[in-house]
Structure 1
Amino acid sequence: MLGTMGLVFIWLLRKTFEWTLVTAAVLTYAEIGPGGEAVAELINTFQEVLRNIDWQNIFQQLTSTVKTLMQSLSETVVN
């Protein structure tokens, strides 16, 4: 039987696949759909916003938070 980590992994894979399909649909519409130019402009604006985010800092903070959480959980289980 799958443990909690296995279920979380399966859920993450499912969500990744789901959002990949959504992204493919939006990009396809931007290429061939009526009004696709407006959608393409919106996508370009969104891409620019994503480029301006400090992803490295976010990843470092997330990693630090997860480490703290794991340490707290392991201390709780041991005690």
Structure 2
Amino acid sequence: MVGIENLYIKSATADYDVSTISGLVSLEIDTVNVNAAARAYTLASGQSLTLTNVTDSGNSGNDVDVNAAASVTCLFTH
């Protein structure tokens, strides 16, 4: 992929590695479910990550791993 600055994903239940997408500035994932397994997101040092409507029914608070993001915003729901 080229020429994409912002990537929006709805209803994600997978890991994502966007660190090699040239020109990508931000990754936004809306409605993230981490109930069954931890999620890993890998970004380049200049990319930002926004997670919205994150569900973690186990309330363990350790189900999201972020590698090398410039900034991270995460909004949890229970």
Write 1 or 2 for the structure with the bigger share of helix: 1
Q: TM-score by structure 1 length?
A: 0.23
Write 1 or 2 for the structure with the bigger share of strand: 2
Q: TM-score by structure 2 length?
A: 0.24
Q: Which has the higher contact order (CA 8 A, sep 6+)?
A: 2
